[in-house]
Amino acid sequence: MTARSVLVLRRRRVAVRLEWRSLLVCTVLAIAVMSVAVLALMTGSYQLGPDQVVSALAGGETGLVHTIVVEWRLPRVTAAVVFGAALGVSGAVFQSLLRNPLADPGIIGFSQGSFTGALIVILVVNGTYLQLVGGALVGGMATAVVVYLLAYRRGMQGFRLIVVGIGVSAMLESINTWLILKADLEEAMAAAVWGAGSLNGVSWGQVVVGGACIAVLLLLAASLSRPMRQLELGDAAAASHGVRVSPTRLGLIVVGVALTATVTAASGPIAFISLVAPQIARRLARTAGITLAPAAFVGALLCLTADYLAQHVAPTPLPVGLITVILGGGYLGWLLFGEARRRL
Amino acid sequence: MTILAQRHDGPDATTAPGPRRRLLGLVTALLVLSALLVLSVMIGSTEISPSVVWDALFHPSADIDQFAIRDYRLPRTLVGLAVGVALGLSGALIQAITRNPLADPGVLGVHAGASFAVTVAVGVLGITDIQGYMWFAFAGALVVTLMVLALGSTRQGQSPVVMVLAGVCVGAVLGGAREAIQLTDPEAFDAMRSWNAGSIVGRPLDLLWPILPLLAVALVLALVVSGPLNAMALGDDLATAQGVHPARTRILAVVALTLLAGGATAIAGPVAFVGLMVPHVARWLVGPHQRWIFVYSILLAPSLLLASDIIGRIVMRPGEIPVGIVTAFIGAPVLIVLVRRNKASGL
């Protein structure tokens, strides 16, 4: 790798290193996110022009246009951006931790576990929305803890964690299949839509609460990002640089799981963004390891675009998670084949 | 990419048990399988005495219990036997060609392809009869496996890693498309949720007969490639030096495993973990010789499937749990114990 231009901002003991290329990539991605957001705010059964959207956002509109843009469409668009960013960062954290480009919070059984929790609330307890959120969180977190404990044996090893995750996910998946099999058709379908990951009916309340949690978690992730990069070099090398290996790793796992948990609670598990975003970001920013900020922007752009496609391009409105699976799977395949072919 | 890069040991790497112990094990496995076949006919939601079972098979009459045996439990048992053999052998084949001890027919996209094709048959074409959509499942499995094989081929030949990646990606994309159809079509969703669990209940023998010749062809192919696959465990270069054609062997093996996994999935739906787990147990019992692994897998996999099916009938009496759910519950802990103890051969 050639020497790269680096901008270092210092203020007393805090130094922020900004790599020009990452900065440029993030700026371009931010512009793309805003463009798609405006497009999403324009489109719907009541079409609006870009000028109307911009003036509604600036507070210049009243009446119907204001209601459509700010109260109906904006929560969903905001949710897509914030949740997408959270998923991107969560994936980046896991891929860096496990040093495996296929790692993802789903690997530690999180998505299946939260789906099991949600299914039990929807189908067995007949609970409220709040209980659904609680069930999803408890299910996901409990699964993550179980997988971590089962995989822990004289230290943590990425390969073992992945295999244990596959095993536990398979068991939970069969519980989920069983619950759906036993339920009424209507309830089972509602549960399956949630399980596919959908932003339908996201309200300002969910966006504000979820967004606040995500903002705190993103700050925590940013504060852990330097030791995270050092852990990529190996435990011994990181320790010699003064990184406290075990607490850092545990902290990163908690932040990664909590980010996914927040999104899952609000929208159901939206697949593949956490897997694909860090990989796309790494290629765009041409960094050697995993970096958080570009992953967040790519995640936001992916989630927003997928939700737009799911709502307006598919013949019937679909859960966004189905679009991310299809797009993400295809793109990941293309990326990995390219890389595998080059290496052969 | 650690998960994909693990390799088996070569045939000489571990101390393989001697021929006497292997034969003894073979006889034991046969006895266990026979016992499970008998139990599978005898045990069910209603108690039927052994003498009635005997009469149903050898002195048929119009007795209602005899009908239950002949029309329900006997087909179920035979279907379980065939599906088990097919799953076990396809698992052993895919682990041999990908040199990945965690590979499973599901990984090559077999389940995803079959499941997608069945969804299209049910949701788009309105076919609701399993005899109708069984062939869609088979064709789906076949097409997707060939697609994965093509995607997994590089200019230098097939790479195990790329092949598995291709399977994962194609599987994910088809899974999304399948769910999209199901979630917009309640009828397809309803039909698919029981198929998706993986079950051998209510499959008449008419379903099995057309598949059997295909399974027989696959069985022969598998035995033909077992020797060359042994040589290839040491790497393609060494195998070529011994006069083996790696590419040809791999293609034959993939054809065999597609027929086996496709046939099993067409009849029973996706049954998890049998193809993953059984070859491990076989390798642990007989060492790394492919032909022995194949033979043991053929005996052990139907035993596991039938035992799981019997457990599924007992634990929720008078209700039943589909066999695919039971195998996941047996298979996953075994996988976890194996990886924790580092006992999984090649892990």
The number of distinct structural domains making up chain B is: 1
Q: Residue B11: inside a domain, yes or no?
A: no
Best mutation site among B190, B325, B327 for testing chain A: the one with the most A CBs within 10 Å?
A: B325
Structure tokens at B320: 């039943």
CA distance A170 to chain B (A): 6
In percent, the amount of chain A with pLDDT more than 90 equals: 23
Q: Residue B2: inside a domain, yes or no?
A: no
Q: Residue B222: inside a domain, yes or no?
A: yes
Q: Which of B102, B166, B196 sits opposite A163 (nearest CB)?
A: B102
Q: B151: domain range? A: 19-42+49-345
Predicted pLDDT at A31: 95
B183 chain-A contacts, CB cut-off 8 A? 189, 192-193, 196, 318-319, 322
A322 chain-B contacts, CB cut-off 8 A? 176-177, 179-180, 183
Q: Residue B6: inside a domain, yes or no?
A: no
Measured CA to CA, the distance from residue B83 to residue B216 in angstroms comes to 12
Predicted pLDDT at B34: 92
Give residue-wise pLDDT tens across range A181-224.
888 888 888 888 888 888 987 888 889 988 999 999 999 999 99
Q: Residue B1: inside a domain, yes or no?
A: no
Would the CB atoms of B321 and A340 count as touching at under 8 Å? no
Measured CA to CA, the distance from residue A247 to residue A243 in angstroms comes to 9
B345: amino acid identity, one letter: S
Predicted pLDDT at B9: 41
pTM of the model: 0.79
Give residue-wise pLDDT tens across range A263-277.
988 888 887 898 889
Tell me the CA distances in angstroms from A276 to A192, A290, A294, B23, one per residue in order.
23, 12, 12, 50
Give residue-wise pLDDT tens across range A59-112.
887 888 888 888 889 999 999 999 999 999 999 998 888 777 767 777 677 888
Q: Residue B13: inside a domain, yes or no?
A: no
In percent, the amount of chain A with pLDDT more than 70 equals: 89
Would the CB atoms of B193 and A329 count as touching at under 8 Å? no
Q: Residue B10: inside a domain, yes or no?
A: no
Predicted pLDDT at A219: 93
Residue A15 has pLDDT above 60, yes or no: no
A329 chain-B contacts, CB cut-off 8 A? 169-173, 175-176
B322: amino acid identity, one letter: P
The residue of chain A with its CA nearest to that of B178 is A322
Taking 50 as the pLDDT cut, the residues of chain B under it are 1-14, 343-347
Residue A187: exposure state from Cβ atoms within 10 A (0-12, 13-18, ≥19): middle
Predicted pLDDT at B3: 39
Q: Residue B9: inside a domain, yes or no?
A: no
The residue of chain A with its CA nearest to that of B2 is A159
Would the CB atoms of B197 and A181 count as touching at under 8 Å? yes
Q: What DSSP designation does B320 have?
A: -
**ipTM entry:** 0.77
Would the CB atoms of A170 and B166 count as touching at under 8 Å? no
Best mutation site among B3, B98, B124, B315 for testing chain A: the one with the most A CBs within 10 Å?
A: B3
CA distance B240 to chain A (A): 19
Would the CB atoms of A162 and B2 count as touching at under 8 Å? yes
Best mutation site among A325, A335, A339, A341 for testing chain B: the one with the most B CBs within 10 Å?
A: A325
Predicted pLDDT at B7: 41
Measured CA to CA, the distance from residue B116 to residue B137 in angstroms comes to 8
Q: Which of A162, A324, A344 sits opposite B3 (nearest CB)?
A: A162
Best mutation site among A322, A327, A332, A341 for testing chain B: the one with the most B CBs within 10 Å?
A: A322
Give residue-wise pLDDT tens across range B177-203.
888 888 888 888 888 888 888 888 888
B332 chain-A contacts, CB cut-off 8 A? 167-168, 170-171
A175 chain-B contacts, CB cut-off 8 A? 325
CATH number at residue B181: 1.10.3470.10
Measured CA to CA, the distance from residue A260 to residue A253 in angstroms comes to 11
B157: amino acid identity, one letter: G
Predicted pLDDT at A91: 92
Predicted pLDDT at B11: 43
A339 pLDDT tier (thresholds 50, 70, 90): low
Residue B143 CB coordination number (10 Å):
17
Which of B230, B223, B269 minimizes the C-alpha distance to B95?
Answer: B230
